[in-house]
Amino acid sequence: MEGLVLGLWALLVSAEFGGGSAKPGLKLSCYQCFKVSSPASCEPTVCNSTDQVCVSNEVFVNLFSEGVLLSKHCAPRCPNTNMMFKWVLNPGVVNSITRKCCSRNLCNRALASQGRPWALQMGFLLQVGLSLLWALL
């Protein structure tokens, strides 16, 4: 019984950390683009050996019409921690800059939904695992 519990726990932990990270000695791959309006314009690229993270910047500007500019690239480190900065030009008109850093291959694909399918799968797996664990105890 304890072996089954330990095995289930090991499966959950390995699934948590097995999300496609770059292997030591291999170069990281990230999406790269500069000031584009669509994520489809970003192309995968192999990073330099010194690059450790993929960076995504999304600028949402609502001046005369709404617009989003995306920039994605490789970097040796995250310029700052993941952040969101908002400012108001006119009452009710909020603009924002969002920066995200990640360290897995091609992890900077889409800023808004990045990681959600994997997170949903992990949440489901965690619920099933905890239910089985509870049933065994």
Residue 137 has pLDDT above 80, yes or no: no
pTM of structure: 0.59
For residues 71 and 23, give the distance between their C-alpha atoms in angstroms, rounded to a whole number: 25
Which has the higher per-residue pLDDT, 44 or 87? Answer: 44
Estimate the crossing angle of helix 116-136 against helix 2-17, to 10 degrees.
Answer: 170
Q: What is the mean pLDDT of residues 80-84?
A: 80
CATH superfamily ID and name for 13-136: CD59 (2.10.60.10)
